[in-house]
Amino acid sequence: MSMFPTLDISASAMHAQTVRLNTIASNMANVDSVSSNAADTYRSKQPVFKTVLDEESGLPMGGVRVDDVVESKAPLKMEYNPNHPSANEDGYIFRPNVNVVEEMANMLSASRSYETNIEVLNTSKQLLLRTIQLGK
């Protein structure tokens, strides 16, 4: 059995987790943004992952890819603040639907998944090097 598919699977997972971490960073960066209407308000984004399938058989062959990045359907936070410069004519401002606690939990999960895949790559590399040394 070849070790190269293992490397491909780990690399695809690391790429997916990088996208996940970037969307989390975007969500966290926009958590305090404010808008005067719901249409212009930032909405939390989440990546959607998809299993990589074998083109011939349609069976999972290992690995993951980012299928899409979708916006959360959770309601926006509407706050009464008539003194705010961005307040609408009724005195309301709109804040993003970003849940900071959820984003931090997602960040820890993505970071640990990334670290785990680095360990898989390192172990695979060590196994390949030991296999090469068997012939000496």
Q: Write out pLDDT tens, residues 41-63.
A: 999 999 999 998 877 777 777 88
Res 55: pLDDT:
74
Res 7: pLDDT:
87
Res 60: pLDDT:
73
For every residue of 7-64, DSSP letters joined together read HHHHHHHHHHHHHHHHHHHHHHHTTT--BSSGGGS---EEEEEEEEE-TTT--EEEEE
Q: What is the pLDDT along the chain (136 residues), one digit of tens a residue?
A: 566 788 889 999 999 999 999 999 999 999 999 999 999 999 999 999 999 887 777 777 788 999 999 999 999 999 999 999 999 999 999 999 999 999 999 999 999 999 999 999 999 999 888 988 887 7
